Structures are given as structure tokens and as C-alpha cells.
Amino acid sequence: MKEVRTRFAPSPTGYLHVGGARTALFNYLYARAQKGKFILRIEDTDQVRSTEESYKQVIDSLKWLGYEWNEGPEVGGPHGPYKQSERLDLYKNYATQLISEKKAYPCFCTADELDRKKKQREAMGLPYVYDGKCRNLSEAEVAEKKAAGHEHTVRFRTPAKEVVVEDIVQGTVRFDTALIGDFIIVKSDGFASYNYAVVVDDHLMDITHVIRGVGHLSNTPRQIMIYQAFGWSEPKWAHVSEIVGSDHKKLSKRHGATPITAFRDLGYTARAFNNYMALLGWSSPDGREYMPIAEQKALFDIARCSKSPAMFDVFDLAKAAEVDLAQVPIAELETYLFTKSKLNWLSNQHIRATEDNEFIREILPFVRNTKVVPDAECNENNERLREILLSLRVYLDTLGQIKKYLADFYLPFEPRSADYVSSEYFQAENFSSLAKTFLRLIEQMADSSGGDTLVPDKIKEAINQVGKELGVKGKPLFMGLRLASTGRLEGLELPIYLALLGKQRVTERLSRMIALKETAVPQG
RNA sequence: GUCCCCUUCGUCUAGCGGUUAGGACUCGGGAUUUUCAUUCCCGCAACAGGGGUUCGAUUCCCCUAGGGGACGCCA
């Protein structure tokens, strides 16, 4: 059987967002599932809007997502070049062929003229189709206009018929070409238009499956006609559902057309983000949702893709109203995320599943970014930092969230009244004695082991010791000591928490809490 | 306006003529965790509406409503 070849063909006229990224993912996954090739092609025939900066950003996003292309920019391949702007001669030659076969013709209508006609039709409530003014120009007329220096485009001579699109996702869809008319395949600047260039490229690059958003379905009959004009066999079509924002509308800047790089900067792993995107319009045969990409590569099939649009539901619209989510800085963007989204849940699952060293390596840049941990301590070999990060990982939906937790371990202790004033454990009569006894034991512990190190097992013993000495047990004992030694009502398992804080910080907190208690409840 | 597509719990979805309409996230309740989180149970929650076809429609057909897309010298 013929090798499957898919492609992703972005135009460098903006950044990559979920819509495009998901299309790239599906192409990539399908190629891998079929043991085929994934090709990247840059469609930069729009001279006005294409930019180098945008190109770099798109490539950057694709690399982060991990879609290794077998052929394309940077890696090359036997069907290059992979930028349309470098394939101009190809388009020109094939266009010449079509013209000589009378399947296409030069058109000298000006943009203004066409615009006027279009507006007239619209005013009458009629659909606009090119009227064919230049369709039957004689060779002499053409030569004359060219000689006179008139600019021209090249139009495809659309035959009157019905074009049938056989689509893997959409099924059989029929189009009447009368509604299409003679469309432009070469622009007056000499560049190929999209519908024409894709066909030439897809054919020459031997693309077997065209997987893209349904938005392109109505372009497909035009492309099929071109395949037929050349006598080329068409690829298999697969038009997958579009992705909509939380407002049920097409992804707009306000509602979710956020650059992929923003999610990277927020601290989502590419693994989690890919997992989430794969679920937008596709489902695994056995219904599993949390899935390493390796399994997606094995299981993915366009035949299991849904026709109905999927919602990219990760933003809290109530909070994000009136905000351009594509523009806000990362720190602010975070506040507009729906914290209980499936994306976050998946992200947390992936963070937990990450191998320890890998996890540390990935999170370190985010740790540095907090500026909370001294630069000198920000390295993979720092045992204490390592322990802290590893203990905290279950709490993280994104790597960026680490900043919420790190201050407690690295910054000077700040008691929060909300944690203790109305707490029954703080109000308890024995709070002070609990704290003092614990403080004494902790200090002794430090004496015997030396340095700042606390050992979880020893702390456990000390807790029991406090209970025995004061005749306290159960919740009052544990919660009282938690509050007294950490100043917090929540957190890691106490012995581990304290060991990670270290002797110095624990004794300091105990003293502070004792002082607070004494100010709050004067002697007597 | 014309053409095309879509419509199952709030969200992602399974389903491809006969199911108590299943799962996941969220939410609610409970158990465990002497804290929060985790984990584990239990629960709430859907076939857009109306006509057909059929012994039987979530599933097939038509209409309506809602949504999306195309109708570019943009891709």
C-alpha cells in the first residue's frame, strides 16, 4: 500500500493558535499512526501579510508542540522547496500549460471594476460570480492588452457540472460549479492563489491525505476541478470540525484564539496540551482520555473524528469579558483561565506522571522566573529545592503555578490572620503550651543532629511526645501543632512539611505564633 | 441573499434501528487522609423542536429553529 503523506500548511500571517495547532496535530498523528510522513509547508503567497516574524513564531510553536516534520523548512526533503514563495516558477509553468490547453485564461478586469460589479450584485441580493468578461478574448486581444501594459490575472475556466467531494469525515458532499464561476489561479502580482498553489504543491509533494478544518470544504470543489484539469488523481479529503470559543462562536481573539506560546509560557506541558487538543473532535476507541502522545500516535484515526464543532473551553468568560485574550500579558491571562477545566485536570495528570528528573528540569525555568528562590539555589542538584518541588507537584495544574507555593518555603514568614484568628486551634487554651513544648523538642532535635536539618521520623516522634506530655491527642494535637509550627491551616503532610522548611524556619514560626497568641490573649 | 455543514448531560464525547442512552471534566454527597489537596465510592445532569419511514427511532428522511463556514487578486 502507498505510504501515507500528510501535511500542515500554515500561512505566516499571524501566530499559531489552537485552531491551527489542532489541525497540525491531527495531520501529525495520522501520519504517525499510519507509519507515514508528515510534511510542513509554508504558504506565504500573500506578499502583503506574510512576515518573517510570524514565520518564526509558527515554527517555534510547532517545535514546542513536538510535531517533528519529516520534510519541510529546516529539514529539507526530496519535494522541496517547502515555502511557496520559492516555488513560483512551478506555478507559472503549470499555469502556462493550463492556458495553452484553454483550461485557463488571462483576465484583464481590474480590481476596481470587479469590486463595483460585486457590490451591485450584493445590492440586488444576488450571489456574486465572475461574469466571464475575459473568458473568450481572442489571442490578438490578449496580445494587444499585454502590449499595452495592462496587468492581468489568470482565471480557471470552470466547467459547468456537479463536483462531488468524497470526504472521510463529512461524507459525500455535492457542489454546483455554476455557483463558483471562473476563479483566479494567478494573481496580478504573478503569485499563485491559494486554491491553485495547494493543488500543485499537494500533487508534487505526493500528499495522500488532506486533513484540514471544514472551512476549506467549500474550496475543495475548486481544487478538485484543478486536479481534473491536470489529469492528476486527488488525495483523500478529511475536513474536521472547526473549534469554537466558549461563546459558541468561531475562535476569536477575544474568546480563545490565544497564541500557543501563551500556554507554553503559562506552564502547560506540550504533552498535556496535545492530549487536550486531540480530544477536541476525536475520541479514542476505548474512551480513554488521559493518554500519552505515544498512544495517540498509535490509536489516532480520522475516521473517528466528529463533524460537530468542539468548544475550546478553558477561559472564564465572565471574568474575561471585554478583554482581548490574545494580547494580555501571561500573568494576567492566568487569571482568566477556568481553573477547573479539563485542560487543567489533564495537565495535572501529566505533571504527576512525569519522571522525577524530567519534571525538575521542566519546572526549573518557572522556578527561576518566580525570583523567590535565589539564583544560586536554582539547579537540578539542589536537594532541598528538589524535595520541595517533588512534594508540591500533585498540587500543580501548570508548572507556572509553582510560584503560589514557593514563597512559603523561601520568603520570610508572614502570618496571615485569616489562618489563625478565628481558628479553634489558635483559640484553644493550650495553644501556647503546645507550641512551647514542640519548640523545645525541635530545638533539642537540632542540637543532636546539628545544622538546619529536620528528619520527618523524628518530627513524628516529637508530635507524639507533645501529646503525651500535655495529654492531648487527635485533631487538636495535630492541627494545633500544624498551626503553631507553620502558621498555616493547610499544606503538606506535617512531618514532611516541617522537614522541608528546616529547623530555623520552624523554630522561628513557632516563636512568632507563640508571640501572636500572647498578644491576642493577655496574661491572666 | 445563495450554497454547504453541524445540533446527545454545563463542557469533551460514546452510540452507527431494539441500551436502565455509557464514559471523562465540572458540580453535590460520603469514606479514607488526625489539614488542604490527593485517592476511593455514590449521586445530579442530555438525544434542539415538529412531522414522517418502521413492529420499533438518539440512530434513516423532510421541515423549522439555532450555530458555523463559503461565496476574495486571504489562506
The answer to whether A25 and A6 are in contact (CB under 8 A) is no
Is there contact between A310 and strand B, defined as CB under 7 Å from any strand atom?
yes
Active-site residue identified among A92, A117, A133, A253? A253
A161 is catalytic: no
Distance, Å, A354 CA → B11 C1': 27
Contacts of range A452-458, beta carbons closer than 8 Å, 24 or more positions apart: A452/A502, A452/A503, A452/A504, A453/A499, A453/A502, A453/A503, A454/A498, A454/A499, A454/A501, A454/A502, A454/A503, A454/A506, A455/A499, A456/A495, A456/A496, A456/A498, A456/A499, A457/A495
Closest by Cα among A67, A74, A5 to A42:
A74
Is there contact between A494 and strand B, defined as CB under 7 Å from any strand atom?
yes
What CA–CA distance (Å, rounded) separates A305 from A294? Answer: 19
The pLDDT score that the predictor gives to residue A48 is: 87
ipTM for the predicted complex: 0.95
Half-sphere exposure of A485 (CA within 13 A, CB side): 35
Q: Cis peptide before A81, with omega less than 30 degrees from 0?
A: yes
Distance, Å, A483 CA → B51 C1': 68
Q: Which nucleotide is nearest to A279 (CA to C1')?
A: B12
Q: Which nucleotide is nearest to A473 (CA to C1')?
A: B34
Q: Which nucleotide is nearest to A313 (CA to C1')?
A: B11
> A383 vs A11, A378, A389, A491, CA distance in Å?
46, 10, 10, 20
Q: Which nucleotide is nearest to A306 (CA to C1')?
A: B13
Q: How far is CA A342 from the centre of its chain?
A: 14
Cell numbers placing A256 = 480563545
- A 10 A CB-CB count for A93 gives 10
What is the Rg, in whole angstroms, of the alpha carbon atoms belonging to chain A?
A: 32
Q: Which nucleotide is nearest to A222 (CA to C1')?
A: B70
Residues 111-170 of A with CB under 7 A from strand B: 111, 114, 118, 125-130, 151, 153, 170
Distance, Å, A282 CA → B61 C1': 28
Per DSSP, chain A holds a count of helices (H) and strands (E) of 23, 11
Is there contact between A317 and strand B, defined as CB under 7 Å from any strand atom?
no
Q: Which nucleotide is nearest to A44 (CA to C1')?
A: B75
Is there contact between A184 and strand B, defined as CB under 7 Å from any strand atom?
yes
Is there contact between A88 and strand B, defined as CB under 7 Å from any strand atom?
no
Closest by Cα among A352, A355, A353, A366 to A399:
A366
Residue A82 phi/psi, 5-degree rounding, is -105, 15
The pLDDT score that the predictor gives to residue A262 is: 94
Distance, Å, A333 CA → B47 C1': 36
Q: Which nucleotide is nearest to A290 (CA to C1')?
A: B24
Instruction: Report the amino acid identity of residue A165.
Output: V
Distance, Å, A78 CA → B12 C1': 40
The pLDDT score that the predictor gives to residue A448 is: 57
Distance, Å, A501 CA → B74 C1': 58
The pLDDT score that the predictor gives to residue A371 is: 93
Question: Is A340 strand, coil or helix?
Answer: coil
Residues 431-470 of A with CB under 7 A from strand B: none
* A452-500: pLDDT as tens digits: 788 899 999 999 999 999 999 889 999 999 999 999 999 999 999 999 9
Ranges of chain A whose pLDDT falls below 50: 523-524
The pLDDT score that the predictor gives to residue A523 is: 41
Residue nearest to nucleotide B13 (CA to C1'): A283
SS3 content of chain A, % helix, strand, coil (to 5): 50, 10, 35
> A499 vs A255, A363, A381, A452, A495, CA distance in Å?
45, 22, 18, 9, 6
Q: How far is CA A443 from the centre of its chain?
A: 50
Beta bridge partners of A7: A39
Residues 248-307 of A with CB under 7 A from strand B: 248-250, 279-281, 283, 287, 289, 304, 306-307
The pLDDT score that the predictor gives to residue A316 is: 85
Beta bridge partners of A165: A173
Residues 19-48 of A with CB under 7 A from strand B: 43, 45-46
Q: Residues with Cβ < 8 Å from A429, sequence gap 6 or more?
A: none
What CA–CA distance (Å, rounded) separates A83 from A60? Answer: 16
Distance, Å, A507 CA → B36 C1': 23
Q: Which nucleotide is nearest to A345 (CA to C1')?
A: B25
Q: How far is CA A369 from the centre of its chain?
A: 21
Which bases along strand B come within 7 Å of a protein CB atom?
1-8, 11-15, 22-27, 33-38, 67-75
Q: Residues with Cβ < 8 Å from A406, sequence gap 6 or more?
A: A367, A370, A372, A373, A388
Distance, Å, A521 CA → B12 C1': 54
The pLDDT score that the predictor gives to residue A524 is: 38
What CA–CA distance (Å, rounded) separates A296 from A93? Answer: 41
CA end-to-end span of chain A: 91
Is there contact between A345 and strand B, defined as CB under 7 Å from any strand atom?
yes
Instruction: Report the amino acid identity of residue A330.
Output: I
Distance, Å, A128 CA → B74 C1': 17
